[in-house]
Structure 1
């Protein structure tokens, strides 16, 4: 990714991320931001994200807040620079699994509560839903443990990386 723009390959990847996440219920721009941050070697300022994606800073700001809430994007700072920077948070993968576990817990509990109502207590579909939620939760919990063990074995992995000011200065050509 160059300072002046994106290569055709990078643009294709970013657009495919936008479409993928749009199918998952995330606004397309949110997926595009994630794609860009996955490719970025350094934190990107809100304005740089908007310029590279050719969208408004307001749209980036709105979507960045949602991505921060989802745990996939973290704020970063560059010493001496007051702009807001952002990085992809690799720990966001854990968060996505944990959100799915919480969703299964909530759905299972709703169905369990419904089974406690005498008129609904014999509904086989509700029992099946409770069983499915318990099964899926156990599978996801195992997936979280396996992912964490796998990710921890990778050398140099961490949730966020912030370059030294000298690296940032070299990139922008200032000293």
Structure 2
């Protein structure tokens, strides 16, 4: 990626990421930010993200907070520079699996609690929902373990500034 702008190929990828994530319920700009950060070789400041994506800094700021909460974007700092920088967090994939497992746990528990009520005890669809949640959780749990093993085996997956998937901390990035 050139500092002065993005190439036509990069722009196509960034836009396709925006549309993909929009279909997943994320604002299009959030998907575009993820696409840009996936391509970036160095951390990008809020202003750089806004300039490269041709959107307002306020839009970037709002969406960055949501992406940080999802675990896919992390803050970074450059010593001596007071601006806020951001990087794509590869460990965020692991976090996405954890969120899906947590969602299935919550749904399964809600259905299990409903089955404990005398008037709902015999509802077969609730039992089926509990079974599905248990199955889905087991499958995702196994997928998360396989992903962690696969991610940590790849030599290119970890650089000095990229922690392992289990690390959830802010990083200092130097040039």
Is the CA contact 1:43–1:162 (under 8 Å) kept in the aligned structure 2? no
- Does residue 1:164 correspond to 2:171, yes or no? no
Q: Give 3-state SS (helix, strand or coil) of 2:139's partner.
A: helix
CA distance in 1: counterparts of 2:145 and 2:55, whole angstroms: 38
Return 5+ residue gaps in structure 1 as ranges.
Answer: 166-175
**Residues matched between the structures, number:** 165
Is the CA contact 2:64–2:73 (under 8 Å) kept in the aligned structure 1? yes
Q: Name the TM-score, length of structure 2 as normaliser.
A: 0.91
The match for 1:35 is 35
Structure 1 position 156, deviation (Å): 3.9
CA distance in 2: counterparts of 1:164 and 1:124, whole angstroms: 57
Is the CA contact 2:73–2:89 (under 8 Å) kept in the aligned structure 1? yes
Structure 1 segment 1-175 matched on structure 2, within 5 A = 1-158=1-158, 159=162, 164-165=174-175
Is the CA contact 2:76–2:173 (under 8 Å) kept in the aligned structure 1? no
Q: Name the TM-score, length of structure 1 as normaliser.
A: 0.91
Deviations 1:108-167 (A, max 9, x none): 0000000001111000000000000000000000000000000000114234686533xx
CA distance in 2: counterparts of 1:64 and 1:30, whole angstroms: 7
Q: Give 3-state SS (helix, strand or coil) of 1:4's partner.
A: coil
Q: Give 3-state SS (helix, strand or coil) of 1:17's partner.
A: helix
Is the CA contact 1:43–1:76 (under 8 Å) kept in the aligned structure 2? yes
Deviations 1:25-50 (A, max 9, x none): 10000000000000000000000000
Q: Give 3-state SS (helix, strand or coil) of 2:155's partner.
A: coil
Is the CA contact 1:76–1:85 (under 8 Å) kept in the aligned structure 2? yes
Larger-Rg structure:
1
Deviating beyond 2 angstroms after TM superposition, the runs of 4 or more aligned structure 1 residues are 156-165
CA distance in 2: counterparts of 1:52 and 1:74, whole angstroms: 19
Is the CA contact 1:42–1:162 (under 8 Å) kept in the aligned structure 2? no
CA distance in 2: counterparts of 1:91 and 1:100, whole angstroms: 15
CA distance in 2: counterparts of 1:154 and 1:8, whole angstroms: 30
